[in-house]
Structure 1
Amino acid sequence: MNNRILAMSTAIVCAVAIGGCGLLEDGGKGRTKVTVWLMKDSASNDFIERFTTDYEKEHKDVELEFKIQEWGGIGPKVTAALTGAKGAETPDVIEVGNTQVAQYAESGGLLDLTLESMRDLGGKDWQPGLAEPGSINGVQYGIPWYAANRVVIYNKDLFEKAGITELPKTREEWIDATEKLNKDGNQGIYLAGQNWYVLSGFIWDEGGQLAVEKGGDWAGALDTPAALKGMEFYEELQALGDGPKDADEEKPPQSGVFAGGKVAQIISVPGSAAGIEKANPALKGKLGYFPIPGKTAKRPGSVFTGGSDLIVPERARQRSAGIEVVKALAGEKWQAELAKAMNVVPNKTTLADVNNGEEGPAAMARAAAAGRATPNSPRWADVEAENPIKPYMTAVLQGRDPKKAAKEASDLITDLLARR
């Protein structure tokens, strides 16, 4: 994804790099060098070093080179690598945001990994929010690597004072609990008016979409009855706190508001807890987590899944060796290691219990089973850049007719998705 949702307190990742390219000379004794681009903060230095040592021990003819990339400006750099632009380096494996795969696939420079996904990697068990955006027109270009998603972070003391002993599992229970928490000057929930990722989950729960594809063309869908019902629930929940109607969760940062100790709940990634506890050490050990409740207790609410997929460029010099590295990184052994090292969700639903010892990541993993991704259009990045969803939400929360506001926003989304 372009707009990262991961808030991690991980040490900055550094490269495990070895010079040369292709077949290493001299000390390399003819070993094949595989170059991997990973994004900053996706894996710790310790994880990369352990993976490198283990992999090179098992594959004595391979030398790994990891190069860490910044998220800012990565799009043009990856596109240049895929298209073979003059002077561009083309690595053998690239980590990309899960919602970026469609954009890169449009360049025609991605290797088809469908066979590997079904034969060697157990694609049927992948997290849907990673697998679906990695597949374009039935071709699997992106291999899921890790996921992260929002959960409800709550203040255990305020829940106890309100007499709430059972965590809510349905929307109805959630509203009831939040109303009980609105007392003694406390906010039951702090939800900014333009948190469109949260809105997306409510829309998906109702069977709606942000945009739909019809005959190869994309159109905004915020004005459908299902999407409007999602916005209706968002409005009901948002009213149970004092979050601004005309700003998103970063203005002001919701973790800072929560750290004040008078807010019972926010919706965020578990990694936000580190910043909250740093701002208010008195809250250390007093934060709890649960999945966003669904319409029924049978499954949690839908959530936007952020995270990464791994791709192999068609122009890669070591395509076969690169595929083998992808298999290892996406395989169960190193998925479990990555989840524990970085407190992220593994790429398979069958690995959801890896972090059961950590309350936040465990709640995130349970919620990930209902994860979704944004519309799989190569132009979706343009929608996020201009983002007509945010002003639409503000308009509704400030009293404007929802149908009219949704129609205008949907038309803008349609126009943005049609641009070339």
Structure 2
Amino acid sequence: MRRRLLALVCASASLTSACGVLPGSDGERHTVTVWVMQNSASQDFLDRFKKDFESSHDDLRLDIRVQQWTGIGPKVQAALSGKAADGPDVIEVGNTQVAQYVQDGRLTNLTLESMRDWRMQDWLPGLAEPGQDNSAQYGIPWYAANRVVIYRKDLFEKAGVTNPPRTRDEWLAATEKLNSDGNQGIYLAGQDWYTLSGFIWDEGGELAKQSGGVWKGTLDTPAALRGMDFYRRLQALGDGPAGADEEHPPQAGVFAGGKVAQIVAPPGLAQAIIQKNPALKDQLGFFPVPGKTAERPGSVFTGGSDLIVPRNTDDRDAAVAVVAALTGAKWDTDLARTMNYVPNKTNLASAVADEEGVAAMAAGAAHGRATPNTSLWAAVEADNPIKPYMTKVLSGDDPQTAARRASQRITEELAPGLG
């Protein structure tokens, strides 16, 4: 996807004869080249993984290379088509990018390993679903991140809100109480379409839906309109601009100004808030985006990474071994603790339970989703019609009419000629 919740990484492993061989306990050691994008994993984590992997695979050696995110798409496409020298065998990609790379049969189908060895039934849906194509698994979930509610503990206490809300109704009631004494109960920009997506999914709606092999925009369905209506009610309890998104102005700066009780953001944004206003260091708390009932947190957009294996790998078994190690419980939980990510499986959430922000993120990730699983979705985001649709509704336009027009725009991008 064009914009990520985090600065994510693209990792790959390459097993090519061009890398040469090294002496090993069995006579030779094949080199596996692994690309990782900057800031995906710490150098200490990569060093520890390399040492452990090589000690348990005495016929393989890892060559881990850090890549830049900018321009990685064409570089991955070149590697998949066999045009890149010393190309990779395992590639980390954004979860929503798998759809564009699976075209033309250039990825290895990993369904059998997923079903047999990798406990796919426990994977986070927001990572697993984008990795599928026609029920085949090509992208293997690695780690995730998503939005939570960051709040001011002191302002909650002052307003008499003793516990973080767990339902939408409680959230609205608490936010209304917080919206006093010159404070905003919540700062929610009018075009935060990622947050809107979660509300739409909670209502049973979709941004777009495929039927008969054709994708169509669905913002004008009753379920999607209910999600937009909840967004409108929540957004009205603060002074977020109707015509801008959460980056204009950056909401970390708005929150740091001291008059905002809540924002919806990745928990990592707390560090930027504290840098701008150190007095808030001990006042920030986190809770999952509330759902319709207390038993289930709200749905959230899940960003993160999947691992893919190009079909042009020289050694499928070795590539699979790298994927298995990186996504297995040992190293996946190590990465989550090291980088404050959510592990790839719901049953590993306890690994981050001692970090309040990450624990809140993990609770939401269990019900996370991703954007529509089509390679054409990037064209929708390039000139995103959801944003002006939201602004129109928040400015008083008829929701049904605005949603119908936005849905037509989405359909034009996903199925030209049908919009």
- TM class, shorter-length: over 0.9
User: 1:228 pairs with 225, 228, 244, which one?
Assistant: 225
**Aligned in 2, Cα 1:19/1:285: closer, same or farther, shift over 3 Å?**
farther
User: 1:291 pairs with 288, 293, 309, which one?
Assistant: 288
Shift of 1:418: 2.2
User: 1:256 pairs with 246, 253, 257, which one?
Assistant: 253
Which range is displaced more, 39-48 or 304-313? 39-48
**Aligned in 2, Cα 1:215/1:164: closer, same or farther, shift over 3 Å?**
same
Matched, 1:389 2:389: no
Contact 1:2 1:97 in 2 (8 A): no
Contact 1:16 1:67 in 2 (8 A): no
Matched, 1:5 2:5: yes
Q: How does 1:180-329 map to 2 (within 5 A)?
A: 180-329=177-326
Contact 2:146 2:300 in 1 (8 A): yes
- For 2:10 and 2:400, locate their aligned partners in 1 and report how far apart those are by CA, in whole Å: 47
Unaligned runs of 5+ in 1: none
Shift of 1:107: 3.3
Matched, 1:133 2:130: yes
User: 2:93 pairs with 91, 96, 114, which one?
Assistant: 96
Q: Which amino acid aligns with 1:174?
A: W
Which range is displaced more, 337-346 or 315-324? 315-324
Matched, 1:143 2:122: no
Contact 1:13 1:44 in 2 (8 A): no
Matched, 1:367 2:364: yes
Matched, 1:167 2:164: yes
Q: Match for residue 76 of structure 1?
A: 74
**Aligned in 2, Cα 1:13/1:324: closer, same or farther, shift over 3 Å?**
closer
Q: Match for residue 32 of structure 1?
A: 30
Contact 2:10 2:36 in 1 (8 A): no
Contact 1:190 1:263 in 2 (8 A): yes
Three-state SS of the structure 2 residue aligned to 1:54 is helix
- Deviation per CA, 1:96-145, whole angstroms, max 9, x where unpaired? 00001111101321000001111111110000100111111010000000
Matched, 1:404 2:401: yes
Q: Which amino acid aligns with 2:200?
A: I
- For 1:236 and 1:14, locate their aligned partners in 2 and report how far apart those are by CA, in whole Å: 42
Contact 2:10 2:92 in 1 (8 A): no
Q: Percent of pairs identical after alignment?
A: 64
Shift of 1:336: 1.0
- For 1:2 and 1:114, locate their aligned partners in 2 and report how far apart those are by CA, in whole Å: 27
Contact 1:16 1:49 in 2 (8 A): no
Shift of 1:40: 1.7
- For 2:24 and 2:293, locate their aligned partners in 1 and report how far apart those are by CA, in whole Å: 61
Shift of 1:7: 6.6
Contact 2:16 2:32 in 1 (8 A): no
Contact 1:152 1:267 in 2 (8 A): yes
Q: Which amino acid aligns with 1:310?
A: L
**Aligned in 2, Cα 1:39/1:371: closer, same or farther, shift over 3 Å?**
same
Contact 1:82 1:107 in 2 (8 A): no
Unaligned runs of 5+ in 2: none
Q: Match for residue 376 of structure 1?
A: 373
Q: Which amino acid aligns with 1:4?
A: R
- For 2:398 and 2:310, locate their aligned partners in 1 and report how far apart those are by CA, in whole Å: 47
Q: Which amino acid aligns with 1:84?
A: G
- For 1:412 and 1:186, locate their aligned partners in 2 and report how far apart those are by CA, in whole Å: 37
Compute the TM-score of the two structures, normalised by the length of structure 1. 0.95
Contact 1:38 1:95 in 2 (8 A): yes
Q: Which amino acid aligns with 1:364?
A: M
Q: Match for residue 350 of structure 2?
A: 353
Shift of 1:19: 12
Shift of 1:356: 1.1
User: 1:53 pairs with 39, 46, 51, which one?
Assistant: 51
Q: Match for residue 41 of structure 2?
A: 43
- For 2:375 and 2:251, locate their aligned partners in 1 and report how far apart those are by CA, in whole Å: 31
- For 1:396 and 1:155, locate their aligned partners in 2 and report how far apart those are by CA, in whole Å: 29
Three-state SS of the structure 2 residue aligned to 1:352 is helix
Shift of 1:83: 1.4
**Aligned in 2, Cα 1:222/1:14: closer, same or farther, shift over 3 Å?**
closer
RMSD: 2.2
Q: Match for residue 60 of structure 2?
A: 62
- For 2:173 and 2:154, locate their aligned partners in 1 and report how far apart those are by CA, in whole Å: 18
- For 2:146 and 2:379, locate their aligned partners in 1 and report how far apart those are by CA, in whole Å: 22
Q: Which amino acid aligns with 1:131?
A: A
